[in-house]
Structure 1
Amino acid sequence: MRLLFVLLALCCSGATLAAQYQQHSLNGNQLSINTDEGQLSLTFFQSDVVEAFYQPTGVKQLPSFSISQQPEPVTLNISETASQLTLASDSLTVTIDKAPIKLSYYRADKLLLSEEQGYVQQPEQQSHGFRFMLSPDEKLLGGGQRVLGMNRRGEKFPLYNKAHYGYSTQSSQMYFSLPLLISSNKYMLLFDNSAKGEADLGHSQADILQFSAEGGRSSYVVVAADSYSELVTNYTSLTGRQPLPARWTLGNYASRFGYRTETEARDVVKKFRDLRLPLDAIVLDLYWFGPDIKGHMGNLAWDLNAFPKPEQMLADFTADGVNTILVTEPFVLTSSKRWQEAVAAGAIAPGLDGKPKTFDFYFGNTGLIDVFNPKARDWFWPIYQGLAEQGVAGVWGDLGEPEVHPDDTVHAIGMANEVHNAYGHQWADMVYSGMRQHFPAQRPFIMMRAGNAGSQRFGMVPWTGDVERSWGGLKPQVELALTMGLSGFGYIHSDLGGFAGGEQFDAELYIRWLQYGVFQPVFRPHAQEHIAPEMVFHDKHTIDTLRPWLNLRYQLLPYNYTLAYQNSTTGMPLMRPLFFMADDLANITDLMEEKNSYLWGDAFLVAPVTEPGVTSWPVQLPGGVWFDYFSGQRYAGANKVELPVTLDTIPVLVKAGSFVPMAPLVQTTRDYSSKKLTLHYYADASVNCAKGEMYEDDGKTPDAVAKGQFELLNFYYLQQDGEQKFELRRSGDYAGKPESRELTLVVHNQTATPEHISVDGRYIQLVPQQARFNRMQNVAWYDKANRQLKVKLDWQADKVQLLVQK
C-alpha cells in the first residue's frame, strides 16, 4: 500500500524515476555516462565551466543557441567507487551518484550546487527540466527582464519572451526572458533551452529550484569563479562577448514613434544642430515604409511619397555625422507589397497544414518570417543588404519576441513553443553574419527587443521595452539594466523619458530620466509622439538644464569608450552592481539587494532620482572613499548617505583613486579627437597607489583589438614619502593616432600648494593665476578654492613621469 502511494505521488507530480548508472567513458573534455534511460554527458568548456547534457531515449533535442565557445584544453581526473564517480578539473569537482544519477558541484571542497532529482519529465504538462537544492541563505539574481527586485529567490515566473506594454513598478514577464541565474554562492546556472517554460526559484518549495520547458534542450551549464566579476567573464567566454560597437553608438539619438516624412526627419536633425546640441543618430520608426500604423508592415521599402529621396537624405545625414537606423519587424502582412514575394520564396512559417500560417494582430493580418529556415533567411537578408548599400547605418529589430507567435506555427527546426525564445537570437545572428560578410569594414549596429542567452555575441543592443512614461516607469530601470548587464548584455538601456502614455509633459520627470541616461550605455530618448521625446522641442529651461548633461556625455567619450572596450574583452557590463566593489562578505550579500545605486565603470557611483520634488536623495555606498562629482564633498564607508540635490543635479560620486579621461566637446563623434585630453585623478590619503586605462582606436574598424589597430593609455599613481608620482604610458598604433597629446592633468582633493613639480626631471613652473595657466604650455596652477592641482604638458613619449612634492 505504501509503494502504491509513492507511485501515485510520482505520477501526480509528473516526475519520472531517476536514471540508473550503467557505464562511463572519458574522452578529452567530456565524460559520457550511459544510463538505463539514455545518455548523460559532462563537458568542461573551461576549468570552471561545465555542461550537463541529459539525452533520454526518444526525447527530441534542439541545438544549443547559447554556447559558442569551443572547449578549452582542460585536464580532468576521474575516480570511482561502488556508489559514485568523481570528475575534477583544477578548480571544479563534480560528483555523480550512481543509483539514482545525481550530480553535485564543488569548488575548493565547498558545495556550490546539487541536483535534487536531476532531469525531470512531466508528461502531463508535456515538459521536462531540472530540480536543484537551494541553501538556506542563498540569493538568486537573473532571469532576464523582470521587475521583481534584484533577488528573485522565492519567485516563480514564465520563461517566455512577451511584450509588457506600459509596465512600471512590477512585472513578472517581459520582453527578454533569460533562463540564467547568478547565485550569492558564486556560481551561475544556465538552463540551455529556447522553449517556452517556467522558473520556480524556491516559490513552490522553499529549498528547491526548478526549470521546466515544453521541449527544447535538456541541458544546463554551471559556471564557477572566485569572484562575481570573474563569473561574468567566464560566462561570456562560454556564450560570447559583445563586439566593440562603433563610437557613435555612445552618442545622442533622435528617436520617436515616429518621423512621418523626410522633411520632418531633416528638420529634427537641423534643430539639434541649430541649438548646438550634440547628435549622432536618428531612428526612423515604421512610417519609413508606410503612411499609417496599420496595413504596411512587411513592405520593407521606402515610402517614396513621404521619403522621396531617401538615398540623398542618408548621404546628407552621414555627411553631417548622423547615422540612420531603421525599424524592421519579422511580420509580413498579407496586405503588404511583399506578401506574395515572401510566400513564393518560402519565407513565411507554415501552419500544421503546410500552408503559410496567417493570423491577426494589432497591425493587421500577417505571417511570420521563419528565421530558422535557410530559404527565409535567403529572402530576408538581401533586404537588409540593400538598405545598408543605400547608407543605412543600423538595424532596429522590433516585435521580435515574437510579439504574437501562435502555438501551431511550424518552424524549420521545431514548433513555435520549442524555439520561441531563440527567435530574436536567430534574427540577430542573420543580420550580424550578413553585415560581417558583406560589409567587413563596418561595425554592425543591431538594436533588438528580445533574444536568448548568448545573443550579445551578435552585437545586440537591447532596450527595456515600452515602459510607462511615469515616475513608476523610471523606478525599475536600474534593476532591469543591472540584471541584464550581469547576463552579458552590456548595452541594455531604456527609452529615456518613458515611452507609453502620459497625458502632458512632466518636465521634472523628463529631466531626471535624461540625467540618468548620461550614465547608461545608450542615450536614446524615445516615446509616443504626442509628447516630444527630443529635448529640442521643449522649453528653454528644460534645454538649459539638460544641455550640460548631454555635453558631459560627450566629454566622457574617452572613459565610456574604454568601458565598451572592457566589455568586449572581459564581458564586464558598463553598468555594474555595487556588490562588485564590496570586499566584506556580509556587505556583499546585503548589496545584492541594491537596485537604486550602481557603478558606471569602476570610477562612478550613480543614484538616479526617481521621485518628484526632492531636495536630497539616498545613496548606498559600498565602502571606500567617494567624492561628490559636483561639490567635491568627501564620503566614506559602507553605509547609506543622503546627498543634497537640485533639479540640476543627481547623486554622482567618483571613487578615490580613480582616473577619468575626458575630451573636448564635439557635436558629433565623427569629429571626436583625443589630441587634447583632460585626465582627472581623485586623490585621497587612503589611496597610496592606483591605476587606470584608456582605450583608443579609429572608432569604426571591426576587430580592431584582434588586428592590433588600437592604442592603450595607462595611468599610474604612487603616494610615498610626501611625494605624488604619476606615470603615463602609451602603447599601440592605429590609423589617425595623435602623435602627441596636449594633456591637462587635474588632481582633485589636493589639500596644499605643491612645493615642486617636475616632468621627466624638468621643472614645471607653478603660475599664480588661472589666466596665465590657460595661455601657457608646460605649466601648473593650484586652484585653492576648489582644491585642484592642474598640470599642462605635451605628451609625446611612450612613458612620462610627473612628480609632485608637497
Structure 2
Amino acid sequence: MKLFLNLFAVLAVLVPMVAQARQSISAVSADGRRTTVSAVAPAILRVDNVAPGQTVAPEQSVLALDGDFARIDSGSLTTASGMEAAFGPDGVLTIKTPLNTLTDLGTRAVTDSLTEISLAIGRSGSWYGGGERGHRLNLAGDTLVMYNRQNYGYTGNDPRISQMNITMPVVLSSEGFALVFDDYAAAELIAGDPVRYISESRLPITYYYVYGSSHAELTEALTELTGRQPLPPLWALGYITSKYGYRTQAETVGAVDTLKTAGYPLDGIVLDLYWYGKEEDMGRLAWDPVQWPDPAGMLASLADRGVRTVAISQPYVLRNGYGADNYTELSSKGALLRDASGAPQEVKIWVGEGGMFDVSSPAAKEWLSARYKSLTDMGMGGWWGDLGEPEVHPLGGVHANGQPARLYHNKYGNDWSAIVADMWARNYPDRRLMTLMRGGTTGLQRYSVFPWSTDVSRSWGGFEPQIRIMLNSGLSGLGYMASDIGGFAVGEEPYIPELYLRWVQLGLFSPVLRTHAQQYAEPYHYPQYEAELLAIVKERYRYLPYNYTLAYENARHGWPLVRTLDFHDRASGQYDGISDEFLWGRDILVAPVMKEGARSRNIVLPSGSRWIDMNNTSSVYAGGTTVYAYPAPLDVLPVFVRAGAFVPTADYGMENTGDYRADEFTINYYPLDGVESAYTLYDDNRLSPRSLDTGEYRLIRFDGECRKGAVEIKIASDGTYPGAPEQVKLRFVVNCIDKAPKSIEINNKKTQYRFDPAARTAEFDFEFRPGTPATVKIK
C-alpha cells in the first residue's frame, strides 16, 4: 500500500470546485496528478485522475450524466444516498457508505503504454459481472482479461470461458457497491483487495463508484450510467427457429411449414450465411438469386404468417467469392480496416481472405446503413451480427479513429450495433428493433441487442455453464443474454435427445427461446419427446404477460430477466456456489435438471420467503432450506413460486405473438396466511419504441393479503395508451385454497366462483374497468 500512498505528499491540496452542472472536490498529489470526485447521480460517484498536461477524457462507454447530487461541507462531498467522499491530509481519497469503505491508492503509469488504478476495499466479499463470464459466478480473486474472445465448442470446465465474447470492466460486490471503469481498451481487472485495473488505454481513465444494498439497487444505478435496453418487440419473446443453416428458400419455408403443421407457435426464423450464397461469399450482403429466387415474396409470405426473418452479416468482406465487388468498392471509399501504410489490412478467416469493415469509419457506417435499410425495406425483420468480437482482428490494423486493434477491439461490437440501431431509429421510428450480437463491451444493451453465449458445445458440459453466463451478463447490464438452445457445436454424437429436451426446458425461462445448432436444430427432429417439447413452447406463450412485464422492468430499472437467488435482498454471497438455479423475475424460481440421466435434484430455496411448488401447490417450503431429491423425470421442470405472488398468464392458444390480447389475463395468485404482497402488470401497444418516454402505457397493480384464511385483493390501474382496451377480463385462479370459500365478493357484491378441491383452486372472472379501483374479498 505504501507504494501508492507515497505518490501523495503532504503538499496535496484540497480544492473544492463548483462545475457548471455539478459540485466536486479534488486534490493534487506531489507528482502533480489531480484526482476529482463528483456525484453524477444520487448513488454514483465519478472519480477522474489526470496527470499534468492531461485533460479529463470524454465518456468512453458510459452515458454522460450531469446534475447536482452532492453537498460539500468542510472539504467532504456527501450525497442523500449516504455516500461520503473526502481527501485525507496526505491527499488519499476515501469513499464511505453505510456498508463499506473504499480507499483510492492512486493511479500510476506502469509503463508508457500501461496505466494502473488501485483501490483498497474495506470488505470486498464476492465479485460478480465482468460481462460475459462462464467459469464461475463469484469472480473474487480472478484476473479478468478485458479482450473479447471467441471460444468455439466450449464446455463448463473449459478455462477459456473466463474470457468470452463480451468483456466489460464492470464488477459488483456483495458488500453493497459496484465499480465501473470507463474504458474499452485491452486491460486486466484483478478482482481482489486491492482491486487493480491495468489498461493499455492512452487516455486518462475515469472510474465510477456505485452504491446499493442489493443487486437490484446496483443494477438500476449501473444501467442509469451504462444505459438501458429499449423495450423489445413482443415477437422477440416468442419462439424463434435457427440453424447453420437454411440453405435455400425452399428449405426455409419447409422448416416453417413443418413447425406449423406440428402445432408449434412461431415468431421468427434466422438465416445463417447461406442467404447470400456460400461461405466464401461473406461480405456480399445481397440475396443469392439461385438459392433464393423470390426473397421479397418469401419475406412477405412469412410475415403474413406471423414469422419475422432475421439474417446474418459479419465484419468481413472476402475477395474470393461474390463479395469481391464490395471489397473493391469499400476499399476505395476507406471503409475497410487499414494497415500502417494506409492500404487495406489483409484479413484471413476460415473461409477466405479479404478485408474487414471499419465500423469507426464514416464511409463504412454510410455503406452498411444503406445496405441494411435496403434489405429491411424488402421485409427483413431484424439483424444478426456474427463474429463481432471481432473473431479475427489483425493487430497491425489501424482504424479510422486512429486506434489500433488492442485499443478498439472491445468497442467494435458496440459501434457495429449502433449502426444498425441508428439506421432503424431514423427509418422505422414506430418499430422496435431486435439485433442478435455476440461481441461488444459496456453499454452494448443500449442498442437493442439480444446477445447469446456463442458457439457452445452440444454436450452436457456445454449446457452446464449457461446459467452462470446469463447471471454475470445480466448483472453487467445485458438483461437478454441467452444461448443456442440445444447446443450449437456438434461433436462425435450430434443427436442427444435428452440433452435437447432439458435445454429447451431451460429455454422456457430464458430471455430468448431460440433453438440453434449445426444439426438437428428444430424440435421436430425429436419425435420421442414431441409432446413435451410442444408443451414447453406453448407454455412460453402462456407466460407472455409475465415475461413482457419483465421486459418493462428491464427497460425501466435495468433489472435482468434472469436473476441471482438473492437479487432483491441484501447480497450475502451465500448462493455463490449455486449455478443451476435462478430467479425468473422476482417471484419464480427455476431449477432445471442439467445432468445427464438425472431424474431428481436438490433445490436451494432463498431465505426471506416461503416457496410453493408450482408442480404441486400443496407442497410449501420455508425459505433458507433445501429440498432434497426433488422428483424431476424428463417431463418435469422444477419451478417454485414465492408465497403471495401474482403471476399473469395468457391462457388461450396462440400461433404467434400477434394473437396476444391486452383485454384478457389470467391472474394466478398464491396466497399464504400472513403474507402481504404486490405486483404490477405492464401493458402498452407493444409496437412503439417510445412507449415509456411518452407515458403511453398502462400499469395494473394487484395488492394481496391473507389473514386467518381471509384473502383480500385490491386492484388499481394507472395510465393508458392509444387503443388500450376500456375493459379487461381478469380470470383469477386463487391457489392454495383447502376448502370452498363461503363467499367471494367484488366491491361488496357476491360473485360466482368455481372451486376445484383436487387442484386446491378457486376461480372467478371479473371485468375490470381501468381507472376504477376494485376490491376482492374471499371469506
Q: Does the pair score TM above 0.5? A: yes
Instruction: Please tell me the residue identity of whatever aligns with 2:296.
Output: E
CA shift for structure 1 position 798: 3.1
| 1:70-91 C-alpha deviation (Å, 9 max, x unpaired) | 21321320424xxxxx322232
Contact 1:597 1:606 in 2 (8 A): yes
Q: Comparing 670-679 with 252-261, which one deviates more in the overlay?
A: 670-679
Aligned twin of 2:763: 790
Distance in structure 1 (CA, Å) of the matches to 2:214 and 2:717: 30
CA distance in 2, matches of 1:58, 1:302: 53
Q: Which residue of 2 aligns with 1:620?
A: 604
Conserved? CA contact 1:488–1:573, under 8 Å: yes
Supply the RMSD in Å over aligned alpha carbons: 2.2
Q: Quick one: distance in 2 between partners of 1:545 and 1:722?
A: 37
User: Partner of 1:387: helix, strand, or coil?
Assistant: helix
Equivalent position of 1:258 in the other structure: 245
| Contact in 1 for aligned 2:214/2:568 (Cα 8 Å) | no
Aligned counterparts, 1:461-476, within 5 A? 461-476=450-465
Residue among 74, 77, 90 paired with 2:72: 77
Residue in 2 that maps onto 1:602: 586
- In structure 2, do the counterparts of structure 1 residues 187 and 665 end up closer, same or farther at CA, with 3 Å as the change threshold? same
- Does residue 1:40 correspond to 2:35, yes or no? yes
Q: Which amino acid aligns with 1:21?
A: A
In 2, the alpha carbon distance for the partners of 1:167 and 1:98 equals 51
CA distance in 1, matches of 2:659, 2:195: 52
Q: Do the aligned residues in 2 keep the contact of 1:69 with 1:240 (CA within 8 Å)?
A: no
Q: CA deviation at 1:175?
A: 0.6
Partner of residue 329, structure 1: 314
2:543 to 553, 556, 561: 556
CA contact (8 A) 2:231 2:555 kept: yes
The CA deviation at 1:802 is 4.5
Alignment gaps of 5+ in structure 2 = none
Offset at residue 377 of structure 1 (A) = 1.0
The 5 A counterparts of 1:349-428 are 349-413=337-401, 414-428=403-417
Q: Is the 8 A contact 2:717 2:773 kept in 1?
A: no
> Residue 62 of structure 2 corresponds to which residue in structure 1?
67
Offset at residue 736 of structure 1 (A): 3.3
Which position in structure 2 is the counterpart of 1:103?
93
Quick one: structure 1 residues 791 and 802, their matched pair in 2 at CA, closer, same or farther if it must change by over 3 Å?
farther
Asked if 1:343 is matched to 2:331, the reply is yes
Alpha-carbon contact 2:316-2:356 (below 8 Å) kept: yes
Q: 1:172: how far off? A: 1.8
CA distance in 2, matches of 1:804, 1:88: 47
Once the two structures are TM-superposed, the CA of residue 729 in structure 1 deviates from its matched residue by 2.1
Q: What is the letter of the counterpart of residue 327 of structure 1?
A: I
CA distance in 2 between partners of 1:114 and 1:618 (Å): 41
Query: C-alpha separation between the residues in 1 aligned to 2:755 and 2:333?
Result: 71
Amino acid at match of 2:463: L
Q: Deviations over 1:670-702 (max 9, x none)?
A: 121133321100011141x21111111121111
Aligned partner of 2:646 among 650, 659, 679: 659
Cα distance in structure 2, aligned partners of 1:605 and 1:719: 22
The one-letter code matched in structure 1 to 2:398 is V
**Alpha-carbon deviation of 1:312?**
1.0
**Structure 1 segment 576-655 matched on structure 2, within 5 A:** 576-582=563-569, 588-623=572-607, 624-632=609-617, 633-642=619-628, 643-655=630-642
Letter of the structure 1 residue corresponding to residue 178 of structure 2: M
Secondary structure of residue in 1 paired with 2:450:
strand
| 1-structure distance, mates of 2:710, 2:386 | 56
Kindly tell me the number of residue pairs found equivalent between the two proteins. Answer: 760
Compute the displacement of 1:151 (Å). 1.0
Q: For residue 213 of structure 1, report the CA deviation from its aligned partner.
A: 1.4
* Structure 2 Cα separation of the partners of residues 17 and 801 of structure 1: 65
1:801 corresponding residue in structure 2? 774
- Could you say which residue in structure 2 is the equivalent of 1:452? 441
| C-alpha distance in 1 between matches for 2:578 and 2:379 | 43
Note closer, same or farther for the CA distance 1:379–1:58 as it changes in structure 2 (3 Å cut).
farther
The alignment's TM-score, normalised by the length of structure 2, stands at: 0.94
Contact 1:60 1:215 (8 Å CA) reproduced: no
Query: 1:774 matched to which residue of 2?
Result: none
Q: Distance in 2 between matches of 1:302 and 1:386?
A: 12
* Structure 1 residue 571 corresponds to structure 2 residue 558: yes
Residue aligning to 1:434: 423
Counterpart AA for 2:457: E
Q: Which amino acid aligns with 1:173?
A: Q
Contact 1:194 1:216 in 2 (8 A): no
Which of 46, 49, 53 lines up with 1:51 in the alignment?
46
- Matching residue of 2:183: 193
Q: Distance in 2 between matches of 1:394 and 1:18?
A: 53
SS of 2:627's equivalent in the other structure is strand
Match of 1:507 in 2: 497
Match of 1:209? 195
Q: 1:317 to 1:684 in 2, by over 3 A?
A: same
Counterparts of residues 751-770 of structure 1 (less than 5 Å): 751-764=738-751
* 1:490–1:572 CA contact under 8 A, matched in 2: yes
CA contact (8 A) 2:131 2:441 kept: no
Asked whether the 8 Å contact 2:673–2:707 carries over to 1, the reply is no
Q: Residue in 2 aligned with 1:770?
A: none
Q: Which moved more, 1:193-202 or 1:25-34?
A: 25-34
1:153-178 deviations in Å (ceiling 9; x for gaps):
11113110010111111322111111
Instruction: Determine the C-alpha separation between the residues in 2 that align with 1:212 and 1:196.
Output: 9
Q: Specify whether residues 229 and 127 from structure 1 end up closer, same or farther in structure 2 by C-alpha distance, changes over 3 A only.
A: same
In the TM superposition, residue 334 of structure 1 has moved relative to its aligned partner by: 2.7
Give the AA of the match of 2:74. S
Structure 2: distance between partners of 1:549 and 1:418? 44
Letter of the 2:579 partner, please give it: K
> Residue 411 of structure 1 aligns to a residue in which SS?
coil
Residue 742 of structure 1 pairs with residue 722 of structure 2: no
Which residue of 1 is the match for residue 694 of structure 2? 707
Deviations 1:734-789 (Å, cap 9, x if unpaired)? 2332232332100000122111122222222xxxxxxxxxxxxxx31111111111
Among 515, 531, 534, the alignment partner of 1:547 is 534
1:678 maps to 666
Q: Distance in 1 between matches of 2:537 and 2:356?
A: 40
Question: TM-score, structure 1 length as denominator?
Answer: 0.91
Q: Check the 8 A contact 1:113/1:133 in 2, yes or no.
A: yes
Please state whether the residue corresponding to 1:338 is helix, strand or coil. Answer: helix
Evaluate the alpha carbon distance shift between residue 366 and residue 33 of structure 1 in structure 2; reply closer, same or farther with a 3 A threshold. farther
With over 3 angstroms needed to count, the CA separation of the structure-2 counterparts of 1:354 and 1:609, relative to structure 1, is: same
